[in-house]
């Protein structure tokens, strides 16, 4: 079980968390000052940044190699790029971006939905928005895709399924995304062999997978082949639902952010756990 290290003050709805250059970035859903930047040691607020031409955020991630933060905007169907000096740029995704991650090649993976979230797609971009490739996931097996991360061997770990779907899983896909190699969960539920809905993913250096299970209000740890290992953060340790994860692999600190309330009345929170 993870041990609580620090809790940040509650505020507006949270839409992503990440680390860059020794600082902790927290993304909130509001008109201005959406990005809050904290010292990673003291957790003191350093500055706030306003994302220009922003509409509705769905995720945030970072790349130490390229020294930047990426922010997904689902209404504008674009990615906002924030470099470490504070400059913003953006590019079109031409689908609805829901999840972001960075692979071993330092490229950005954008998990997209289209046709009412039924068809899932992963698009790979260079750091400045050049489309490198796009992979469509099989419609029969993967419905309503939320987030994807890529292993060093090239396979993809994805999570899919919404509250009205009978199948909600975390799956390992082949490198071409045509086949399921391993999976965890099938029927929705709260047991150790099940997951519920709208998960967010992270993995450690051994490629064990952390899963934020939003409706079950827990964070679980799966093996590299997606077998259940343990519960890392329980509902008793969380305030509200966990929506986003970021794992500091060097310090073994797991940043968990989420929200509580009802649609239109969400309040955001973030906590740090030693794992």
H helix or E strand, kind and range, residue 258: strand 253-260
Residue-level pLDDT at 168: 79
**Distance from C-alpha of 90 to C-alpha of 122, rounded to nearest angstrom:** 18
Instruction: Determine how β-strand 23-28 pairs with β-strand 14-20.
Output: antiparallel
pLDDT at residue 141 in the model: 75
pLDDT of residue 214: 83
Residue 173's closest CA among 185, 161, 183, 162? 183
Residues of the chain falling short of pLDDT 50: none
Hey, where are the domains in the chain? Answer: 3-274
Half-sphere exposure of 199 (CA within 13 A, CB side): 30
pLDDT at 54: 93
* Residue 85 CB burial class (10 angstroms; 0-12, 13-18, ≥19): exposed
Q: What are phi and psi of 114, to 5 degrees?
A: -155, 170
- Predicted pLDDT of residue 23: 97
* Whether 142 contacts 162, CB under 8 Å: no
- Order across the sheet with 68-73: list the strands: 57-63, 68-73, 78-83, 88-92
Q: Tell me: domain 3-274, CATH 3.40.50.720, correct?
A: no
DSSP conformation letters of 182-204? EEE--S-SSSTT---SS-EEEE-
pTM value is: 0.94
């Amino acid at each position: 079980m993870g041990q609580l290290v620090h809790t940040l003050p509650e505020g507006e709805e949270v839409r992503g968390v990440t680390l860059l250059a020794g600082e902790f970035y927290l993304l909130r859903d509001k008109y201005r000052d959406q990005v809050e930047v904290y010292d990673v040691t003291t957790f003191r607020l350093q500055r706030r940044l306003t994302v220009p031409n922003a509409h509705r955020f769905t995720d945030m991630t970072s790349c130490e190699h390229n020294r930047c933060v990426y922010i997904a905007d689902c209404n504008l169907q674009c990615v906002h790029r924030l470099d470490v000096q504070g400059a913003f740029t953006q590019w079109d995704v031409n689908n609805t971006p829901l999840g972001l991650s960075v692979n071993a090649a330092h490229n950005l993976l954008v998990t997209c939905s289209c046709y009412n979230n039924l068809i899932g797609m992963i698009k790979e971009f260079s750091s400045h928005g050049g489309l490198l490739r796009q992979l469509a996931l099989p419609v029969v097996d993967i419905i309503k895709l939320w987030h994807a991360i890529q292993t060093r061997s090239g396979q993809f770990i994805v999570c899919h399924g919404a509250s009205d779907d009978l199948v909600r899983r975390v799956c390992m896909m082949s490198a071409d995304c045509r086949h399921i190699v391993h999976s965890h969960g099938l029927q929705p539920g709260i047991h150790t062999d099940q997951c519920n809905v709208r998960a967010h993913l992270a993995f450690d250096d051994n490629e064990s997978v952390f899963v934020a299970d939003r409706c079950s209000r827990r964070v679980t740890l799966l093996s590299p082949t997606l077998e259940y290992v343990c519960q890392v953060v329980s509902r008793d340790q969380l305030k509200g639902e966990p929506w986003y994860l970021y794992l500091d692999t060097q310090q073994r600190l797991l940043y968990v952010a989420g929200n509580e309330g009802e649609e239109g009345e969400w309040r955001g929170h973030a906590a740090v756990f030693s794992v």
